[in-house]
Amino acid sequence: MKKWQKTVGIIAFALIAIYELLIWINAYVDMKYMVDSNGNNFLAERMYLRIGSLSFGMWLNFALTIFLFICLWHRAGKR
């Protein structure tokens, strides 16, 4: 890989990480002020489970893309 490709890839992953973190925080804030204020504990519990699953899926997806980028980086370096 060329140096500019590595730099663009690292910047893109940093921006994706920031974006995912903001989505995750926004989901928890929405939950706190929209669902918890209704007093329905069953709904709040289900929503926290959903947000936890969303969070896990987002971070797993991010980790897999970083892993594939590193594999591509090493593979291109061997050529």
27-70: pLDDT as tens digits: 888 887 877 677 777 877 888 888 888 888 888 988 898 898 88
Prediction pTM value: 0.68
Q: Name the residue with higher pLDDT: 79 or 17.
A: 17
Is residue 11, in this structure, part of any structural domain at all? no
Domain count, the chain: 1
Is residue 5, in this structure, part of any structural domain at all? no
- Domain membership of residue 38 as a residue range: 24-78
Q: Name the residue with higher pLDDT: 78 or 23.
A: 23
Residue 9 has pLDDT above 80, yes or no: yes
Is residue 3, in this structure, part of any structural domain at all? no
pLDDT confidence of 79, banded at 50, 70, 90? low
Is residue 16, in this structure, part of any structural domain at all? no
Q: Cβ–Cβ contacts within 10 Å for residue 18, how many?
A: 10
Q: Roughly what angle, to the nearest 10 degrees, separates helices 41-78 and 3-30?
A: 180
- How many CA atoms lie within 13 Å of 48's alpha carbon, on the beta-carbon side? 9
